[in-house]
Amino acid sequence: MQTYLHGRDMITTQEWTKDELDTVIDIALDLKKRRALGEEHSLLRDKVLAMLFFFSSTRTRASFEAGMAQLGGHAMFLDSTATQIGHGDTWKEIGEILGRYDDGIAIRQVDWEIGNKYIRAVADASRTPVLNMQDDWYHPFQALADLLTVIEKKGDPRKLTVNVSYAYAASYQKPVSVAQSEILLMTRYGANVRLTRPPEFKLQPEVITQATENARKYHGSFEIIEDFEQGMAGADVVYAKSWGSMLTTSDHDESAKISEKYTDWIVDERRMDMADEDAIYMHPLPADRNIEVTDAVIDGPHSVVFDQAENRLHVQKAVMALTM
């Protein structure tokens, strides 16, 4: 266990050591137990987290606000459209000023080719830790919640076959950040990771290189598959969700047209039966029901999506407690 992580930013799990990530999981499990037992754990009494949202949220906002309250602190909600960001407040003002008012800054900014750069710029200007609530590259807290869920449901991730797959969705061209964070973190934990996606739905080459190196270092495997059912076959963990084809085209309308070629990339009961008989189905939510996944699967015996959503609360509390 690492005993001093105060002041650390959490922008991507890739920038934390394996020991540090193990510490997050250990603390998350302890805080989850203490919450279940009704034990007081006001570890951040009188601390304030500024939460700056450029995009709407359900689970992220609710879990960070609840987490800060349970830790004895306060979460300050800031909507980018209701601040002076549109009238002159740059990343420097946000980092410098909120870093002086608050004990941590959490940001959600997923604009393509802007989000991660913005969050890193704020972190450079801030004297307090910056937490990435999702950007265009990474969604670290989702990945940590998913790791905790896999450990609880399946045990040691080493040698598990984790299928991180594209699935069709009609709602909007979603960020690549969940898929990228999943393949980075699960390869750190020795899983046999499959990235299953159509050829137009590539991820960042830098992330693919890092996932490949993680797999080598931690004695798992990493492969890219372009056939949906091949990716499903024998998987212990099925993690299938939509993302946009941003590395093929930056035009959202064109990306949507490309997506329409893959409407059959849906997790239904027949496809779920191709996975291991004890496989779990995961999704970060919200899911496009009966488009990405059928009701029978997401509400069925293999689904762990609500435990997965709850675990956002516990890993976020762990990171806040350790860094703030």
Reported in sequence order, the residue ranges of 72-168 that DSSP labels E, i.e. its strands, are: 74-79, 104-109, 130-135, 161-166
Which helix (H) or strand (E) segment is 49 a member of? strand 48-53
Select from 237, 233, 231, 229 the least CA-distant residue to 279: 237
Fold of 13-139+311-323: Rossmann fold (3.40.50)
* Ranges of each domain in the chain: 13-139+311-323, 142-308
Return the pLDDT at 172.
66
Distance CA 320, CA 256 (A): 37
Return the pLDDT at 128.
98
Return the pLDDT at 80.
82
Residue 57 pLDDT grade (very low, low, confident, very high; cuts 50, 70, 90): confident
Reported in sequence order, the residue ranges of 74-184 that DSSP labels E, i.e. its strands, are: 74-79, 104-109, 130-135, 161-166
The CATH class, in words, for 142-308 is alpha beta
**Is residue 31 pLDDT above 80, yes or no?**
yes
Indicate the range of 47-56, 72-81, 166-175 predicted with least confidence: 166-175
Query: Whole-model pTM?
Result: 0.97
Residue 86 pLDDT grade (very low, low, confident, very high; cuts 50, 70, 90): low
Return the pLDDT at 56.
83
Return the pLDDT at 170.
83
Same fold yes or no, 13-139+311-323 and 142-308: yes
**Is residue 82 pLDDT above 90, yes or no?**
no
